[in-house]
A and B are shown apart, each in its own frame.
Chain A
Amino acid sequence: MSNPQQLRYSKEHEWLSGAEDGVSTVGITEFAANALGDVVYAQLPEVGSTVTAGETCGELESTKSVSDLYSPVSGEVTEINEDVVNDPSLVNTAPFEGGWLFKVRVAEEPAELLSADEYAAHTAG
């Protein structure tokens, strides 16, 4: 399992891409997807709503459990991944790519995110 170097990570297992025109993409990590098992339903924040770093903004249902989705960044949601809404298994098969969850116009640079190596160390224990 390898975490892309160009992403930053939260301790709650979300990833955040670098901003393009002020907009970053959010997803969950492969580690989190493996821990959840088959994701069957993704409740994502609404486009236009505001998310806050470290707070819940949706949920992911898997066969065995439901997990809160935390936003790794504060800002306004500009887009959600309709492909994931229609086929939540994308979160399992391509967590860092086609399984992205939503995009945010970043209001404030998050301070407490981890690098890929730091996140790898965080999940190693």
Chain B
Amino acid sequence: MSSNAPVEPRRTALDALHRSLGATMTDFAGWDMPLRYGSERDEHNAVRTKAGLFDLSHMGEITVTGPEAAQLLNFALVGDIASVGVGRARYTMICREDGGILDDLIVYRLANSEYMVVANASNAQVVLDALTERSSGYDAEVRDDRDAYALIAVQGPESPGILASLTDADLDGLKYYAGLPGTVAGVPALIARTGYTGEDGFELFVKPEHAVELWQALTKAGEGAGLVPCGLSCRDTLRLEAGMPLYGHELSTDLTPFDAGLGRVVKFGKEGDFVGRTALEDAAERAAGNPPRVLVGLVAEGRRVPRAGYPVVAGGEVIGEVTSGAPSPTLGKPIAMAYVDAAHSAPGTAGVGVDIRGSHEPYEVVALPFYKRRK
């Protein structure tokens, strides 16, 4: 970044609407996004018990097409993307040659030779550059579609009913981690049953010029069901309760998927070589035999809230570090995810605390996730 000129934040197609709703806005990866509209706890609870509406247009869409699109993605990413059926989606990662995580991704197979890769806003350019570089020699095209889509999510137990009132698409037949093209409120949309909240829900990829119309239709359809607009603040506490990692917190280039406890996304058995294979084989062995640190859940006994970067302590020694922490609306207590030394990582391990600005507060080590919805 050589320019010293102030960078204008990017605004989504729903920007004016958020402001008219009185949203508190925040900078997120260069985007001006809604942090909350009212009480973030009320928004959180609405998603757990009814439904919430999110603008996620900052997410980075990259389209990969061509006869060798599947082969390219199998080489560029750690998952077996060629095995994903048309209309299905897969959670996966893109790693460096040394195994470090560049980003975590959802890949949708839209057609036999067409995929949509959805990257985190903060990493979209990095992912785009890496895919473009790795596409050399493959008969496939990598296309920057970040400006081609707005993304609206409706999440929560009431979301299927709300969406069903606006579309003829077969939602009952749409499984978790599946996506199909359809029409919602008269607007063409890719309807995906995905999310980042730990609840049932949908993500709707539409053209930016249709975003306001769709948002308003969903708001109206959800009126009687308790749907409320939700900001990124509650999205963070929802994903934390669900034990889902956030890039820059639980995931980074310093960690491999195995270090993050997500080795299952790496498919060594797939056809062909892939970027990071050798380093990841070593990382898998290390994680199985002698893991350096392990990602765990922590639940507070008191009321002080752990924050990212706070040391985890036991017997006066630092044994780890908090990666994400927040007051959990569902548990009614502060919770955190943290990397801790393997010796202290078993659920129920006694004597673990978090150093909260100089005072050691007791914490219970628990298995992730903190919250799992009843199906």
- Let me know if B303 and A40 touch, CB within 8 A: yes
Q: Mark A50-70, 1 if CB is under 8 A from B, else 0.
A: 000000000001011110000
Number of inter-chain CB pairs below 8 Å: 41
Nearest Cβ distance between residue A59 and chain B, in whole angstroms?
8
- B24 near A63: Cβ-Cβ < 8 Å: no
A41 in contact with B304 (CB, 8 Å): yes
CB of A38 within 8 Å of the partner chain:
yes
Interface size on B, residues (CB 8 A): 16
Which residues of B line the A interface, CB within 8 A?
24, 35-36, 39-41, 233, 237, 303-305, 307, 326-327, 334, 357
Beyond the given A37-B24, A41-B304, A64-B40, please list 6 additional residue pairs across the A-B interface where CB-CB is below 8 A. Answer: A37-B233, A40-B327, A41-B303, A41-B327, A65-B307, A89-B39
Bitwise interface map of A from 68 to 104 toward B, beta carbon under 8 Å scored 1, else 0: 0000000000000000000001001000000000000
Complex contacts, A66 vs chain B, CB 8 Å: 305, 307, 357
> Which of A37, A66, A89 has the most chain B CB atoms inside 10 A of its CB?
A37
- A38–B307 CB distance below 8 A: no
Q: A34-B24, A37-B233 are in contact. Are A61 and B36 (CB under 8 A)?
A: no
Minimum C-beta distance from B357 to chain A (A) = 8
The answer to whether B304 and A61 touch across the interface, beta carbons within 8 angstroms, is yes
Chain A contacts for B303, CB-based, 8 A: 40-41, 61
Q: Are B40 and A38 in contact (CB under 8 A)?
A: yes
In the bound complex, CA of A61 to CA of B41 (Å)? 14
The complex places the Cα of A64 from the Cα of B334 at a distance, in Å, of: 12
Q: Give the 8 A-B residue pairs with the shortest CB-CB distance, closest first.
A: A40-B327, A41-B303, A38-B41, A61-B305, A63-B40, A38-B39, A37-B40, A38-B40
Which residues on A sit within 8 Å (CB–CB) of B39? Answer: 37-38, 89, 92
Check A64–B24 contact: CB distance below 8 A. Answer: no
- B40 neighbours in A (Cβ, 8 Å): 37-38, 63-64
Q: Point out the residues of chain A lying under 8 angstroms from B233, CB to CB.
A: 37, 63-64
User: Which residues does chain A contribute within 8 Å of B326, judged by CB atoms?
Assistant: 63-64
State how many angstroms separate the Cβ of B260 from the closest Cβ of chain A.
Answer: 23
Give complex CA distance A84, B36 in Å.
Answer: 23
Please give me the residue from chain B that is nearest to A63 by CB atom: B40
Q: Return B126 CB to nearest CB of chain A, in Å.
A: 26
> From residue A114, how far is it (CB to closest CB) to chain B in Å?
24
Q: How far is the CB of A93 from chain B (nearest CB, A)?
A: 9
Contact A41–B305 (Cβ < 8 Å): yes
Closest to A93 in B: B39
CB distance from A42 to the nearest CB of B (A): 9
Nearest A residue to B41, CB-CB: A38
Minimal beta-carbon separation of B266 from chain A (angstroms): 33
Shortest Cβ gap from B18 to chain A (Å): 16
Residue numbers in B under 8 Å from A65 (CB-CB): 307
User: Given A63-B41, A63-B327: A40 and B305 within 8 A (CB)?
Assistant: yes
- Which residues of chain B are near A34, meaning CB under 8 Å? 24
**Residue from A40, A41, A43, A92 whose CB has the most chain B CB atoms within 10 Å:** A40
Docked pose: A66 CA to B237 CA in angstroms: 16
A84 to B: closest C-beta gap in Å: 13
CB-CB under 8 A from B327, the residues of chain A are 38, 40-41, 61, 63
CA distance A12 to B40 in the complex (A): 23
Complex A-B: 15 CB contacts under 8 Å: A37-B39, A38-B39, A38-B40, A38-B41, A40-B334, A41-B303, A41-B305, A41-B327, A43-B304, A63-B233, A63-B237, A63-B327, A64-B40, A65-B307, A92-B39
Query: Shortest CB–CB separation between residue A32 and chain B, in angstroms?
Result: 13
Q: Which residue of A lies closest to B44 (CB)?
A: A63
> Which A19-39 residues have a C-beta within 8 angstroms of B?
34, 37-38
Contacts of B24 in A (CB 8 A): 34, 37
The answer for the CA separation of A69 and B37 in the assembled complex, in Å, is 25
Q: How far is the CA of A63 from the CA of B307 in the complex (A)?
A: 10
CB-CB under 8 A from A92, the residues of chain B are 39
The reply to whether B36 and A37 contact each other, CB–CB distance below 8 Å, is: yes
Nearest-neighbour CB distance to chain B for A70, whole angstroms, equals 16
